[in-house]
Amino acid sequence: MLRRNFLTGLSATGAAAALSPTLLRADDTHTPASPRDIARIAIFGVRGRGADHMKEFAAMKDVQVVAIADPDENVIGKAMKLAAEHEQKPRYEKDLRKVLDDKNVDAVIIATPNHWHSLAAILSLQAGKHVYCEKPVSQNHWEGARMVEAARKYNRVCMTGTQNRSGASNAAGIAYMQAGKLGKIKIGRGIVYRARKNIGNKQDAPVPAGVDYNIWQGAAHEHPFNPNRFHYEWHWNWEYGNGELGNNGIHALDVVRWGLGKNELPHRVLSLGGRYGFDHDDGQTPNTHVVWYDYGDCQMVCELRNLATEEYNPTKPDVVFHCEHGILAKAGGSKMTAYDLKWNKIEEFTGGNNHYRRFTDAVKKGSLDDPGNFILEGHLSTSICHLGNISHRVGEELPFEGVESTIKENEALSDAYARMVEHLKKNNIDLKAEKLTVGKLLEFDNKTEAFIGDAKATALLRREYRAPFVVPEKV
């Protein structure tokens, strides 16, 4: 079944489809924001990433932090302390919606769990605010597309937390490669090796004091409170998060798509992986994952690992472009290097990155003329992750034995899969006792924004929303 499914689809090719018109439609009926000398911001979600934002933005002399919002009053202490260190005195609300009518707020920073990202962004744009939304920008593909529409309609800056886009070294390295210095680009590879711990199994429990759990759940279905579906561990639950692919895979895949020069979603996707070595904990998402994407003229592969692992190679890259005559690799956030095919260094690219300053300057200017601010980039890279997760979720569990021979004709995928198998063996995973979730080979139509001939997979491109936390059909 796997052989027939994969090899039949592998022979199909097609011309690149255009972006859906809904993503490119502009609406000039809304007045641009006026320029100003001070960017007045509110931060939504301050426990983890939001506290990092407070540290950066509060230190800027031309930024005023007006408000913070978080449904858990137990976590605001660190953010308030960071604000006070820079003589900032934001007010606090549990419900972010109570901030949106404040005329003293020009922009909002969204660092909530993923299931709140799109709704918070759309409500903010409708209120005339500029938006910085952490990655991934959406919990599902459909609501991300509505964010794009809202940013265009309300004529506001909408920037995403994919900081690599602001790296001068990344831009220089990609320009070098796209100029043909390394020959034709064949494969773009994202490497996400991030060791994580077993989250265990926890019982449902009373909602902690100080938490407005109704607001925290937002659009998600009603569930009892459980610590393994709350702070940070929500990442590994499909109701709220997008697994490691959406959590950190997006950073690598955003650079890969940028380097490949693609402004649409891949035509085909296939996932291989599962959750291993965590003793059947409460996590639902893969902790070991290989995802293959096909654009027709080039391919992308993402390799993710949460178990202890060796580096991809001594250069420790998180992005690798395999080209006809050489290799371009990114290590960390600010260093790209060109190599020959034997990994001998040819040229190194360096340069700074100030993603936050890029946003505040755009807010002060009130302008959308910087393409780096466009939510479309964040939406496309986020949805690449959604496609990979959907392939996994509609797949089936099969024995490891026999998979390698089925995919051997696809060099990029079989190479990544072989490394994954070796990685699992080194972590003492019994491959004869375990199953591999073999995702379904899915074909995506960029014009209709749906999977071809697969209603079950297409249904996962959006979600049901719990009233009143509903992303509107029309923004």
Q: Is the peptide bond before 468 cis (omega within 30 degrees of 0)?
A: yes
Q: Is the pLDDT of residue 248 over 90?
A: yes
Contact residues for 322 (Cβ-Cβ < 8 A; gap 6+): 185, 186, 187, 188, 189
> What does the pLDDT read at residue 264?
96
DSSP 469: S
Q: How confident is the model at residue 351 (pLDDT cuts 50, 70, 90)?
A: confident
User: What average pLDDT does the chain have?
Assistant: 91
Model confidence at 29: pLDDT above 80: no
If pLDDT is split at 50, 70 and 90, which confidence band does 342 have?
very high
Where does residue 218 rank: exposed (0-12), middle (13-18), buried (19+ CB within 10 A)?
Answer: buried
Q: What is the pLDDT of residues 266-296, one digit of tens each?
A: 999 999 999 999 999 999 999 999 999 999 9
Q: Is the dihedral of CA 372, 373, 374, 379 positive or negative?
A: positive
pLDDT of residue 314: 85
Q: What CA–CA distance (Å, rounded) separates 217 from 204?
A: 15
Arithmetic mean of pLDDT, 188-195: 96
Q: What percent of the chain has pLDDT over 70?
A: 92
User: In this predicted structure, what is the pLDDT of residue 277?
Assistant: 96
User: Given pLDDT bands bounded at 50, 70 and 90, which one contains residue 353?
Assistant: confident
Q: Encode pLDDT of 64-121 as tens digits.
A: 999 999 999 999 999 999 999 999 999 999 999 999 999 999 999 999 999 999 999 9
Annotated domain spans of the chain? 2-10+168-351+383-454, 21-165+356-376
Q: Which residue is associated with the tokens 């990544």?
A: 416
State which H helix or E strand residue 381 sits in. Answer: helix 375-393
pLDDT of residue 4: 36
Would you state the pLDDT for residue 19? 30
Give, in words, the CATH class of 2-10+168-351+383-454.
Answer: alpha beta
Query: Burial, 37: exposed, middle or buried (Cβ in 10 Å; 0-12, 13-18, 19+)?
Result: exposed
Give the pLDDT band of residue 391 (cuts 50, 70, 90): very high
Rg (alpha carbons) of the chain, rounded to whole number = 22
Question: pLDDT of 111-166, one tens digit each?
Answer: 999 999 999 999 999 999 999 999 999 999 999 999 999 999 999 999 999 999 99
**Structure tokens of 304?**
């993710």
Q: Which three-class secondary structure string do you get for 74-124? A: HHHHHHHHHHHHCCCCCEEECCHHHHCCCCCCCEEEECCCHHHHHHHHHHH
Mean pLDDT throughout 187-192? 97
Distance CA 338, CA 319 (A): 12
pLDDT at 371 (0 to 100): 62
Measured distance CA(34)–CA(327) in Å, rounded? 45
Report pLDDT for 24: 33
pLDDT at residue 34, rounded to an integer: 75
Peptide bond into 35 cis (omega under 30): no
User: How far is residue 389's CA from residue 36's CA, in Å, rounded to a whole number?
Assistant: 42
21-165+356-376 has CATH 3.30.565.10 classification: no
Specify the pairing of strand 39-44 against strand 63-69. parallel
